[in-house]
Amino acid sequence: MKVLVLGAGQLARMMALAGIPLNLNIKAYDVASKQVVDPLNLAVTYGDLASGINEADVITAEFEHISHDVLALCQASGKLKPSSTAIKTGGDRRLEKILLESHNVANAKHHIVATRQDFDQALTKLSLPIIFKSALEGYDGKGQWRMKDASQADGVWQEMAEFLAQAKPENPQAIVAEQMVQFDREVSMVGVRKADGSTLAYPLTENHHSNGVLSVSLALASDNALQAQAADIFDKVAGGLDYVGVLAIEFFQVGEQLLVNEIAPRVHNSGHWTQQGADVCQFENHLRSVCDLPLGSTALIRPSAMINVLGTDTVPTDILSLPSVSMHWYGKSKRPGRKMGHINVSGASNEQLYQRLIELARLLPAEDFPDVLPYISAKQQ
């Protein structure tokens, strides 16, 4: 089968790698060059979008910020999975909130802001601190403002008004003002749904962010009741979108309650550990779902963790001498803060995983991984 992925980044690359043993032929549409490329060798081109759509048996996406005209063409071909509606919902925080509210899924208190009047209403409705997030095009903490003190109001509004004024009229932008949640931790669920409505979910993953960007994900063995709560929300959200493929949901955990932060209609950074920690990884299960093949097990086969490599193209090769450590580079050129690769590590038990994580973190240079060792050391206590 031939699969065209919209987007030619690391997620398309890892789908391509996972698809090879299944004899799936994966091409990627690079939204910047508007060319269909080999996701493993971006230099090779196979023509434009129209020929890519024509050639493909199935079309899917590796990210949600895809122009609506591209989505419309793919949807019209009848090959796009998940649907353009599902992708657009994941790319617009306003639509996400409507979806969550319509299924009574708990999320942070919020207010949509397009004008100064809306902004003032948000300040009345929500209590400080407040986080403001652009409705469209936000990722890795970009397009966000935080307000801790009422004296910041005019300055924050000024910046947001300038940002809103830049939006194209055909793509009306807005800001979602959200109550800052005093969470105990952040977790996510990566799950997969087939066209027949069946679903499977990977174990909840604990996520540690640094400056708004994912730094470490931990998938531990646990019989957590939270898993059932998250799986129930996953079924509501994925069912509500009539979703096909892998979908990720990010949560804030407050006590024993999960509040949805956001959804991602695609394979997700917090699911990269599944490459070594599950029988069938998120990339393969996504392909199995969109190609209508039977799904593989999402059970944890061994406690695992992932560390993001951000803004550097070297890590000490000694890390490969540690047991159950594997390196995944994305073949990208270096830019500050850019996601360049990730490191997976596994253990036979949670204790062994922590031991290996500590050893691994000690080998990683503090200037490139400033918060990894402090986070893991604090967790282990």
Q: Which residues bind ligand ATP (CB under 6 A)?
A: 108, 131, 133, 138-142, 178, 180-181, 186, 209, 212-214, 250, 261-262
- Judged by CB, which is closer to ligand ATP: 145, or 283? 145
Select the span of 225-233, 236-244, 250-258, 301-309 touching Mg ion (CB under 5 A).
250-258
- Judged by CB, which is closer to ligand ATP: 24, or 340? 340
d(CA 60, CA 50) in angstroms, rounded, equals: 15
Which of Mg ion, ligand ATP, none does 181 bind, CB closer than 5 to 8 A by kind?
ligand ATP
Torsion 147-148-152-153 (CA) sign: positive
Q: How far is CA 133 from the centre of its chain?
A: 16
Report in angstroms how near the CB of residue 193 gets to ligand ATP at its nearest.
Answer: 20
d(CA 252, CA 183) in angstroms, rounded, equals: 6
- Judged by CB, which is closer to ligand ATP: 59, or 260? 260
- Judged by CB, which is closer to Mg ion: 96, or 250? 250
Report in angstroms how near the CB of residue 130 gets to Mg ion at its nearest.
Answer: 17
Phi, psi dihedrals of residue 39, rounded to the nearest 5°: -65, -15
d(CA 233, CA 219) in angstroms, rounded, equals: 19
Select the span of 55-63, 226-234, 248-256, 265-273 touching Mg ion (CB under 5 A).
248-256
Report in angstroms how near the CB of residue 249 gets to ligand ATP at its nearest.
Answer: 11
Burial label, 146 (beta-carbon count in 10 A; 0-12, 13-18, 19+): middle
From 64, 109, 90, select the one nearest 252 (Cα to Cα). Answer: 109
Report in angstroms how near the CB of residue 267 gets to Mg ion at its nearest.
Answer: 14
d(CA 215, CA 57) in angstroms, rounded, equals: 36
Q: What does the per-residue mask of binding to Mg ion show for 203-242, with x meaning CB under 5 A?
A: ----------------------------------------
Residue with nearest beta carbon to Mg ion = 250
- Judged by CB, which is closer to Mg ion: 38, or 250? 250
Report in angstroms how near the CB of residue 283 gets to ligand ATP at its nearest.
Answer: 18
Torsion 41-18-87-305 (CA) sign: negative
Report in angstroms how near the CB of residue 183 gets to ligand ATP at its nearest.
Answer: 6
Q: How far is CA 308 from CA 132, 271, 291, in A?
A: 26, 12, 29
Report in angstroms how near the CB of residue 130 gets to ligand ATP at its nearest.
Answer: 8
d(CA 14, CA 275) in angstroms, rounded, equals: 10
**Is there a contact between 31 and 6 (Cβ–Cβ < 8 Å)?**
yes
Q: Name the CA dihedral angle for 88, 339, 206, 251, rounded to a multiple of 10 degrees.
A: -20
Write the secondary structure of 151-173 as one string of H (helix), E (strand) and C (coil): HHHHHHHHHHHHHHHCCCCCCCC
Which of Mg ion, ligand ATP, none does 253 bind, CB closer than 5 to 8 A by kind?
none
- Judged by CB, which is closer to ligand ATP: 15, or 131? 131
d(CA 170, CA 74) in angstroms, rounded, equals: 19
Which of Mg ion, ligand ATP, none does 315 bind, CB closer than 5 to 8 A by kind?
none
Report in angstroms how near the CB of residue 170 gets to Mg ion at its nearest.
Answer: 26
Q: Name the CA dihedral angle for 64, 73, 47, 10, rounded to a multiple of 10 degrees.
A: 10
Report in angstroms how near the CB of residue 156 gets to ligand ATP at its nearest.
Answer: 15
- Judged by CB, which is closer to ligand ATP: 69, or 184? 184
Select the span of 143-151, 247-255, 352-360, 361-369 touching Mg ion (CB under 5 A).
247-255
DSSP assignment letter at 181? P
Q: Which residues bind Mg ion (CB under 5 A)?
A: 250
